[in-house]
A and B are shown apart, each in its own frame.
Chain A
Amino acid sequence: QKEVEQDPGPLSVPEGAIVSLNCTYSNSAFQYFMWYRQYSRKGPELLMYTYSSGNKEDGRFTAQVDKSSKYISLFIRDSQPSDSATYLCAMSARTGNQFYFGTGTSLTVIP
């Protein structure tokens, strides 16, 4: 079983839709959760960073962590064509440098 599972998509939505991206994980030691956005031929860009359980909101983006279910989500409200990219989840335990990435979900927002 992989440490982190992420549906690769592709996901295609109309402009203005609410997008839900999800990852599940198996290691209960994970404490730090991140979402990255990667445009084609570019390095990943950190979008959201969350510690432990709960919600975090930043503009149109909301990150949710449910540690009891080992499930994290990224919601994008009022999606825009510029949101078209691959979204990677990542997580790590409290100690150590080991990061675990999902495989990425490809999102296309259609104007």
Chain B
Amino acid sequence: GAVVSQHPSRVICKSGTSVKIECRSLDFQATTMFWYRQFPKQSLMLMATSNEGSKATYEQGVEKDKFLINHASLTLSTLTVTSAHPEDSSFYICSARVGRTDTQYFGPGTRLTVL
């Protein structure tokens, strides 16, 4: 099956710093990638949809300037949490859409802890 990787798997940072999370599709080209946030024992919350070469589409309530998304190539999308605060601590998961199918393959997730 399609493989999606995320890096780093875990990050701890101080309040006010910026953190970049990378999402890569390893064995396929992903024209569309998605970024989710998940709180403990809750379902996935879609943050934004990212299409290669164009600006990301953010869901209502998600701050574009705080969560910067770049999808510069067909295999890489990045999420940068700018000026992170403790309330940004969460589990961030990316996924990639495979070709023309309507299914997504998820990365392993990144656990962000902001002190």
Contacts and interface: CB of A to CB of B under 8 A. Distances in A.
Interface string A20-48: 00000000000110101000011111100
B93 interface: yes
A97 interface: yes
Contacts of A36: 106
Interface stretch (B12-20, B41-49, B79-87): B41-49
Interface in B22-47: 32, 34, 41-44, 46
B42 A46 contact: no
Interface residues of B, number: 25
Contacts, number: 52
A32 B101 CA distance: 9
B109 A42 contact: yes
A80 interface: no
A43 B35 CA distance: 12
A102 B42 CA distance: 10
Interface string A91-111: 010100101011110100000
A46 B2 CA distance: 10
Given A41-B91, A44-B93, A97-B49, A104 B43 contact: yes
23 contacts: A31-B102, A32-B103, A41-B109, A43-B4, A43-B93, A43-B95, A43-B108, A44-B44, A44-B95, A44-B106, A46-B104, A49-B101, A88-B43, A88-B44, A92-B102, A97-B34, A97-B49, A99-B34, A99-B102, A99-B104, A101-B43, A101-B44, A103-B42
Interface of A: 31-32, 34, 36, 41-46, 49, 88, 90, 92, 94, 97, 99, 101-104, 106
